[in-house]
Amino acid sequence: MPPRPLTQLTLALLKPDLAANSVKVNKVFAHIQQNDFQILKHKQLLWSKSDAEAFYGEHRGKFFFERLCGYMTSGHFHALILEKPNAITDWRALIGPTHPPRARINAPGTLRSLYGMTDTRNSFHGSDAVETARNEIKFFFPEFDIEKWEQDQAKNSQHDHRSIKL
């Protein structure tokens, strides 16, 4: 039996412009399932300004910071922990380029090309690296024990690599 591939976690956000339309949210959940992601955790949130400023703090002082924080506090949104092999790369490929009008030209069929509006109101977020995913997951899901999840992954991988000879 071939070893089971190690899975990876990523944080996914379905931002307020998308979350305001339950039909679109349901379609996105269907895309997530069709692309073999497992949803480990899901919550709906409504941020205060201080929540948005804490999450996007690395962008403080940039021209888009206030606009981004205002957008992310404009309504409810969804935070998800997604799992699958290559979750980070696969989720970012599924959501597509940051700028939805460019996505419609260069990456039609991606979620941002289908549902995004502008570079700020682009409907989605995805972690860009393993360490970023860890930090973002801890920010949104402090109750989720990522270290235990990683230990379980390592145990399952070791178990799957053993071969049984009869």
Q: What is the mean pLDDT of the chain?
A: 91
pLDDT band at 4 (very low <50, low <70, confident <90, very high): low
Q: What is the share, in percent, of the chain residues with pLDDT greater than 70?
A: 91
* 8-161, CATH topology level: Alpha-Beta Plaits (3.30.70)
Among residues 80, 78, 83, 103, which one has the least CA distance to residue 93?
103
Measure the N-to-C terminal CA separation of the chain; round to a whole number of Å: 14
Which listed residue (31, 125, 159, 161) is catalytic? 125
Concerning whether 78 is annotated as a catalytic residue, the answer is no
Give the helix/strand (H/E) hosting 77. strand 77-84
| Among the listed residues 98, 84, 92, 104, the one whose alpha carbon sits nearest the alpha carbon of residue 153 | 84
Domain boundary assignment for the chain: 8-161
Cα torsion at 31, 87, 102, 111 (round to 10°)? 10
Cβ-contact 28, 18 below 8 angstroms: yes
The sheet with strand 77-84 has its strands ordered as 38-45, 77-84, 8-14, 124-126
64 labelled ligand-binding: yes
Q: What is the reported pTM?
A: 0.90
Between 162 and 23, the higher pLDDT residue: 23
Structure tokens of 94? 């599924």
Q: Is 55 annotated as a binding residue?
A: no
Q: At 143, is the pLDDT very low, low, confident or very high (cuts 50, 70, 90)?
A: very high
